[in-house]
Amino acid sequence: MGTTRNVRDAVESELSFDPLVDATEISVQNINGNVALNGAVPSYPQYLEAAAAAQRVSGVTEVHNHLEVVLPPGDYRDDAILITMANNALGADVTVPAGVEATARNGNIRLAGTVSFGSQRSAAASAVDGLIGVRNIKNDIEIASAAEPMEVTLLVQDALDRSSLIPDGSDIRVNSSGNAVTLTGHVRTWAEHDAAVNAAWMGSGVFDVRDELYITG
Backbone dihedral angles phi then psi of residue 171, each to the nearest 5 degrees: -95, 15
50-66 average pLDDT score: 93
Q: Using a pLDDT cut of 70, give the percent of the chain over it.
A: 95
Which domains does the chain show, CATH number per domain? 4-69 (3.30.1340.30), 76-143 (3.30.1340), 149-215 (3.30.1340.30)
d(CA 57, CA 8): 9
Instruction: Name residues whose C-beta falls within 8 Å of residue 17's C-beta, 6 or more positions apart in sequence.
Output: 53
Residue type (1 letter), 23: A
Q: What is the pLDDT of residues 145-200, one digit of tens each?
A: 666 667 778 888 888 888 888 888 889 998 877 778 899 999 988 888 888 888 88
d(CA 68, CA 11): 18
20-to-54, 120, 132, 207 alpha-carbon distances in Å = 13, 25, 15, 32
Closest CA to 119 of 198, 14, 211, 212: 198
Amino acid 99: pLDDT: 93
Amino acid 39: pLDDT: 98
Please work out, in degrees rounded to the nearest 5, the angle formed at the alpha carbon of residue 61 by the alpha carbons of 57 and 66. Answer: 85
